[in-house]
Each structure stands twice: as C-alpha cells, then as structure tokens.
Amino acid sequence: MNEGAKMRTCHLLDLPWEDVLVPHILCHLPLQHLVRLQRVSKQFHSLIQVYMANCRVFDLSLIGPSIPKEAFCSMLKDNKVLQSLSLKSCSDWLTDKELLPVIGQNQHLQRVDMSGCVWLTRHSLVAVSLSCMHLQHLGLAHCEWVDSLSLRSLADHCGGLQSVDLTACRQLKDDAICYLAKKCLNLQCLSLAVNANVTDESVEEVAKNCRGLEQLDLTGCLRVRNQSIRTLAEYCPKLQSLKVNHCHNVTESSLDPLRKRNVVIDVEPPLQRALVLLQDVLGFAPFINLQI
C-alpha cells in the first residue's frame, strides 16, 4: 500500500470547532464535564473558552459548591451573550469581585438567580439593575443584604420584571415593596415570604398595580390580614396560587372567594384541617355527612 492510500488518523480536535464541536457536541455535555475537560490540555482549554464565549445559559445550581472560583472567572471572562445565569449553590465562595465583571459585560441577561449567595452585597444587585435592562426573572431568596435602595434601583431600571423571589430578604419593608409594585407592573410571580416587615400595605399595592399577578407567596408574613387578601381577590383575576401558611391573621372569610375561583391555596379549609387532626387522634377518618 502506497503512502497516499494510508488512512489519516483523525483526532477530535481536528474537527471544525465552531461549526461542529461547539454547536453539535459540547452543547450536550454537562457543565461539570466541561470544567474537567478544560484541564486536559491547552487545546481543550482553548476549545472550552470558545464554547463558553458563545454560551447563553450558565447554571451552577447543581455543581456550585465544587467549582473553583477561578474556573468560574476563567470560563465566563469572554462571554457577552449570556441570557440566563443561575448561581444558587455558590454561597460558599461567590463575592462581588467574581460576579461584577460577569454582570457588567452581559447586558442581555433575562434571568438571574442569586438565591442564597450570602457573601454578595447590594453592589451586585445595583450592577444587575444598571446592566440588565431586559431582566425578566430574578431570584434573591435568603439574600439578607438586599436593602431598600438596591431594590429601588432594580425597580427603576428593570420595569419588565415578571418574577421576583424576595423570600427572607428581611431588610425590606413596605416602602420598598410598594415602590417595586408601582414600577414593575408586569409582575406575575412574587415571593415576600418569611418577612415580618410585610404588612397589608405591601400586598394591597401589589394587587392594585400588578393586575396580571398569578402567584404570590406570603408564607410567614405575620402582619398580613384579611383586608389585603380581599383586595387581592378583587384586583387580581389571573391569580392561580396563593401561599399564606403561618399567616395567622388570614382566615377563611377572605380565602373562600379565592377557593371558589379554583386558586390553589396552601392551607386547608377549617373543616378539612379538623378532619385531618381527628384522623391523627383516632387513627381513622370518621364519616361525616356534609349535607346535613
């Protein structure tokens, strides 16, 4: 067999990167595999950089604790087209220093989840509000560094927000939440859970301004009462889900009209709760004729 007839050996990296490897192979690999792959050689590192520069979704929710902060910074240093960024599991290491450059160069972000990132500060939220004018979904659950000024900045610059999770953002009070409601009229999903500062004033302002509201979480908002729930029922015809567990001042008199509209509520009607308790005591569910 002559030399010209010999079959040439083809390696993976010989394939066209931007036409084959990036759109047809790397896009199917989990992020943790990409992190490992870039350590194999300088060529693989360069290949992963090309892929990450064009990546539109970056989700660390499953591998956040195991990824080094250096890898996070390296992988996203050339990316300017991100649309979704999830950092839910990065609480052990993520600070403003790592996040601010990423936010500053990605102005097309529509979804950002910083839930539980306790080492960030209000500067990160202000950066998001100034850079991400098209933001629609924002997760800030258990970010106790969120304060009134940073939330107001968000409301001023991101009027297209559709969902915001403010669970356990305990610095926030009625004034900031009311400001958000007046500026972000397209809100469909909102969580104000686990915040003792939230009162009827916040709930009523949300109801009157966000007429398309579909989901509201008030779990543990101890100062919310029937008055605001009735306002919610009046102004929000699209409401699908309401959470009021541990809202001890909210009673069935305000919840019943919502139940009749098939709104999913996370607390059972009084009779249903009584039957459950009775079953726990007796060990079986007694038959009760509800038509009597």
Q: Nearest Cα to 264, choosing from 246, 240, 247, 244?
A: 240
Q: pTM of the predicted model, to two decimals?
A: 0.86
Q: Are 205 and 182 in contact (CB under 8 A)?
A: yes
Per residue in 99-130, pLDDT (tens digit) is 999 999 999 999 999 999 999 999 999 999 99
Between CA 262 and CA 178 the distance in angstroms is 27
14 CB-contact burial (10 Å; exposed 0-12 / middle 13-18 / buried 19+): exposed
Output the CA torsion sign for 101, 103, 108, 113.
positive
Q: Of the given ranges (72-76, 195-199, 247-251), which has the lowest mean pLDDT?
A: 72-76
Between CA 19 and CA 21 the distance in angstroms is 7
pLDDT of residue 31: 85
Per residue in 129-164, pLDDT (tens digit) is 999 999 999 999 999 999 999 999 999 999 999 999
pLDDT of residue 284: 57
Amino acid at 244: V
Between CA 71 and CA 67 the distance in angstroms is 7
Q: Are 182 and 207 in contact (CB under 8 A)?
A: no
**Residue 289 pLDDT > 80, yes or no?**
no
pLDDT of residue 145: 98
Between CA 250 and CA 18 the distance in angstroms is 57
